[in-house]
A and B are shown apart, each in its own frame.
Chain A
Amino acid sequence: MSLLELKNVSKIYGPLKALDNVNLQVENGEWLAIMGPSGSGKSTMMNIIGCMDKPSLGEVILDGVDIAKESGKKLTEIRRDKIGLIFQQFHLVNYLTAVENVMVSQYYHSMPDEKEALEALERVGLKDRAKHLPSQLSGGEQQRVCIARALINHPEIVLADEPTGNLDEANENIVIDLFRQLHREGTTLIVVTHDPEVAEVAQRTVVLEHGRLVKEIMNESFET
């Protein structure tokens, strides 16, 4: 059984169909890129997969549960337990240090553990920046804190929304290398992007246009 399955999912805002009858399966450990120009429905899809929104029609089965039928409160719990989010704008709490930002995620999930949080920062190469505030970190460093935060609770799926949108090329490469490492460790990765370079490194890429899945590309040269 797939880890995540979208069956005939549609999202309708008034006359506009942001998602139109989308079907998609994501296997455990897979690295999927969702591509498309702006306005294609990427964000809507990301919100639905990230349990931040519900489809108007269809089923979204995550780990055997149809999240389209769950209440808002339950969705919050699923998001907390199963999903790690990475944002384009990083969204770090600006008055908390790097390690505290990671711990916030632990706090809502289970128990804050500073040692574990420091280890997560070490994994993204930021051990010596742990006590810095977001304003003292570069964009790339902030995004790495964000990745560490997404990973800390061992989520089923790491969901990244334009993770390199605000980064220069050097930092982009660091982030992509981190994704490779995560993939090797068996993490399921879904990256939403409009950047073909970021999509290329993924195992599989699906292309959205006007709310429909129009293309699916398997990356031939994908190396594990």
Chain B
Amino acid sequence: MKKQTMFLRMITASLLRRRSRMLVALLAIAVGATILSGLVTIYYDVPRQMGEQFRSYGANMIFTSSNGGTLSEEALNQAKEQIKENQLVGFAPYRYENITVNERPMMAAATDFDGAAKTSPYWRIDGSWPSQPGEALVGKETAQTLALNTGDKVTLTFDLDKKPATADEAANAERNQNNREFSVVGILDTGGNEEKYIFISTEDMEGLTGKSDSFDMAELSVSASQNELKSYADSISKKTDGVSARLVKRVTQSENTVLSKLQALVLLVTVIVLLLTMICVATTMMAVVTERRKEVGLRKALGASNRSIIVEFMGEGLLLGGIGGLLGSLCGFIFAQAVSMNVFNSSIQFHWLLIPVTVLVSVLVTGLSCLLPVRSATDVDPALVLKGE
């Protein structure tokens, strides 16, 4: 039989036949490793996940025309495509036109409602979002002024000459106007300027004005850091003709402030929790190994050199550390996933590199915490250990 075979046989026997003790040690290591891999995974995922939550503040980038004119859909799409698809949370183009309702000047905004729901998740709608042609969303203030409720009809008038009507013309209805009737499906409450507008779909606006493919601006909600956003804005403004991309500083700057604090919080918590957990693991390992002082003495009496005793105990510790580390990486991933599903309703990104790192750290911590008591045990005279009943 080879020496290594006996080595392995001794280690496995120690692990398998001293079950309760080894379970205690294994549990300690596995818990440490779980906390390590779980918290580090969360730490790395917090900016991404939290960043998505911050998208509830709405658009953080806007496209405007760089030459004072309007934007074409083609230019907008070209600009939009420069942003990575998985980072783009929402995109909503807007077009504003002066219209009248019963000769009262109003502002109508046309947008893509699916996009607007994503770029402005904070909009509170009493009723529903428009989904059919001929449906409109009316801002709260305007709804109050015009005494409109959901289910009412409203006629929007667009003056093709862009001139207010004189009393005469109004009376004779001799004007170059387009009229369209819309049904109000929702009242919009935002606490901001949007409450003054009447929102209709882009297609309806084209029908009302007879003019297509002309947008005033576009709002984008992009899940990226402030620096990334800046470089996007720069490259879009440079590469796309007629489009100027700007950051909504209120949103990006504030997000940067708050998010970096949150990340620092999780980092510090992770560091402290890890530090304390590792010490806990180490003390448990020490207790488990200290219990075996007598065995160390016996092995010495049988003629084992200090080196070979240390190698054996370390072998055992490393094996335990490895198994515990693997178990812990798995449990940590499950924990991180549970947290992510509970808090953010989305699955976590797992870093595969964390498995070897966790195993390595577990092995190191276990090894070091075995080494100390084993070393001190080998320093003791075997005779003393064997006598000391």
Contacts and interface: CB of A to CB of B under 8 A. Distances in A.
Interface in B292-310: 294-295, 298-306, 308
B353 interface: no
B373 interface: no
**Contact-size category for A:** 20 to 34
A86 B382 CA distance: 14
A188 B81 CA distance: 92
Contacts of B381: 52-53
B146 interface: no
Contact of B302 (A73, A89, A105): A105
Given A50-B383, A91-B294, A112-B5, A100 B10 contact: yes
B13 interface: yes
B17 interface: yes
B3 interface: yes
Interface string A55-90: 000000000000000000100110111000101010
B1 A104 contact: no
Contact of A100 (B2, B3, B13, B294): B13
A52 B383 contact: yes
B173 interface: no
A96 B302 CA distance: 15
Interface of A: 43, 47, 50, 52-53, 73, 76-77, 79-81, 85, 87, 89, 91, 93-97, 100, 103-109, 111-114, 133, 149
Given A104-B10, A108-B304, A109-B303, A47 B383 contact: yes
A105 B301 CA distance: 10
Given A85-B301, A93-B298, A105-B302, A111 B1 contact: yes
Given A95-B14, A104-B10, A80 B3 contact: no
B6 A76 contact: no
Contacts of A93: 295, 298-299
The 4 closest A-B pairs by CB, nearest first: A80-B303, A95-B17, A112-B6, A52-B383
A100 B6 CA distance: 9
14 contacts: A52-B381, A76-B303, A76-B305, A79-B301, A80-B304, A91-B294, A95-B17, A96-B13, A103-B1, A105-B303, A108-B299, A108-B302, A111-B1, A111-B2
Contacts of A100: 9-10, 13
A100 B18 CA distance: 15
Contacts of B299: 93, 104, 108
A80 B306 CA distance: 13
B60 to A, nearest CB: 62
Interface string B6-29: 110110011011100000000000
B269 interface: no
B83 interface: no
A108 B382 CA distance: 15
Contact of B1 (A43, A53, A79, A113): A113
A219 to B, nearest CB: 29
B169 interface: no
Contacts of B386: 87, 89, 91
Contacts of A105: 302-303
A133 B386 CA distance: 20
Contacts of B6: 103-104, 106-107, 112
Given A87-B386, A111-B3, A112-B6, A76 B17 contact: no
Given A76-B305, A112-B5, 16 more contacts: A43-B383, A50-B383, A53-B381, A76-B306, A77-B303, A79-B301, A81-B303, A87-B386, A89-B389, A91-B298, A94-B18, A103-B1, A104-B302, A107-B6, A111-B2, A112-B6
A157 B301 CA distance: 14
A79 B386 CA distance: 15
Interface string B357-379: 00000000000000000000000
A77 B18 CA distance: 29
Contacts of B306: 73, 76
Most chain A CB inside 10 Å of its own CB: which residue of B295, B299, B301, B305: B301
A107 B294 CA distance: 19
A93 to B, nearest CB: 6
B360 to A, nearest CB: 28
B211 interface: no
A85 B13 contact: no
Contacts of A109: 303
A9 to B, nearest CB: 16
A108 B383 contact: no
B387 interface: yes
Contacts of B2: 111
A114 B9 CA distance: 12
A81 B303 CA distance: 8
A6 B259 CA distance: 79
A103 to B, nearest CB: 6
A97 to B, nearest CB: 8
Interface in B9-58: 9-10, 13-14, 16-18
B297 to A, nearest CB: 8
B382 A52 contact: yes
Contacts of A87: 386
B90 to A, nearest CB: 63
B282 to A, nearest CB: 23
A89 B381 CA distance: 17
Contacts of B302: 80, 85, 104-105, 108, 149
A5 B382 CA distance: 23
A76 B300 contact: yes
